[in-house]
Amino acid sequence: MIYDLIAPLIIGFIGSLHCLGMCGPLVLAYSLHLKAPADRALPGSSTSLKMGLGHHLFFHSGRLFTYGFLGALGAGLFYVADLKLIFLNLRGGMTLLAGAFMVFFGLALLRVIPLPNFLTIPSMAHGSFWGRLFPPLFRSQRLGSKMILGLATGFLPCGLSWAMIAKAAATQHIPEGFLTMISFGLGTVPALLLIGLSASFFSLKMRFLGERVAALSIIAMGLIVLFKGVKVFG
C-alpha cells in the first residue's frame, strides 16, 4: 500500500518538469495578474508574497481534488466492470487493461506512438470552451477563482495524468484510487509552485529529461501491473 502511494508521488515529482509545459503557462498567467492592495503593500513585500501563496494553495487544492475524483472514479468503474468479468471467469481483465493503458501512455510520452487527438492539449483559442473559461479566472483576485481554475485544470487531457489515472483504476478500490491520484498530484506541486512564485525556472532540456524519466517509470509500473493481471489468470 505504501509503495503504491510513494511511486505515484515520485513519478509526479519527476514528471512535474513535463507538467510545466501545460500547467506552467497557466500558473504563470494567473500569477502575473496577482496584485496586492495598493494601500497595504508594495509588490515584492511580505503581504504580496502571502497573497500569492494563498492563490497558489487554492489553485493546487482544486487541482488535487479533481485528480482525486478522477482516481476514485476510475477505480470505481474498474471495480464494477471487474465484477462482471468475474462471472465470465476473466477476473484480472481490468488489471491487464490498466497495465496496457499505462504502457501505452508511457510510450506516447516518449513519442514512440502518437496520442489520439481527443487526448492531446485542447485549444485555448479565443472563442473555444477553454479559451472562454480561463481568462476571467486568470484576472480575478478572489481566492475562489483559483480554486475553480485548479478544478478545471485537473480535467485538462495530459498523457502523464491519464497514465496515473489508469494506475489508480487498477486498484479497483475507491479510497486507494483517490489517494493514488492525490499522491501523484502532490508530487507535481513543488515545481509548479516554484514557477508561480518566481519565473520560468526550468530549461526546456530539463523538462524534456523529466518527461523521459517519468515515461520510463510509467512503462515499468505498467509492466508490473500487467504481470499482476497475468498472475490472476495463471
Average pLDDT over residues 176-181: 95
Q: What's the pLDDT score for residue 210?
A: 66
pLDDT at 180 over 80: yes
Q: What's the pLDDT score for residue 58?
A: 92
What percent of the chain clears pLDDT 90, i.e. is strictly above it?
A: 18
Question: How does pLDDT run across 198-232, given as a tens digit for each residue?
Answer: 644 455 565 667 677 778 888 888 888 888 777 76
Lowest mean pLDDT among 62-66, 164-168, 204-208: 204-208
Please give the grid coordinates belonging to residue 18.
513535463
Fill in the amino acid letter for 98. Answer: A
What percent of the chain clears pLDDT 70, i.e. is strictly above it?
A: 70
Question: How does pLDDT run across 124-160, given as a tens digit for each residue?
Answer: 556 666 566 677 877 787 888 889 988 988 888 787 8
Lowest mean pLDDT among 8-17, 102-111, 209-218: 209-218
Per-residue three-class SS string for the chain:
CHHHHHHHHHHHHHHHHHHCCCHHHHHHHHHCCCCCCCCCCCCCCHHHHHHHHHHHHHHHHHHHHHHHHHHHHHHHHHHHHHHHHHHCCCCCHHHHHHHHHHHHHHHHHCCCCCCCHHHCCCCCCCCCHHHHHHHHHHHCCCHHHHHHHHHHHCCCCCHHHHHHHHHHHHCCCHHHHHHHHHHHHHHHHHHHHHHHHCCCCCCHHHHHHHHHHHHHHHHHHHHHHHHHHHHHHC
Average pLDDT over residues 97-125: 73
Q: Which of 58-72, 81-95, 117-131, 217-231 has the highest mean pLDDT?
A: 58-72
Q: Rounded to two decimals, what is the model's pTM?
A: 0.74
What residues does each domain of the chain span?
Answer: 2-233
pLDDT band at 45 (very low <50, low <70, confident <90, very high): very low
pLDDT at 67 over 90: yes
Instruction: Provide the mean pLDDT of the chain.
Output: 77
Q: What's the pLDDT score for residue 60?
A: 93
96 vs 92, residue with greater confidence: 96
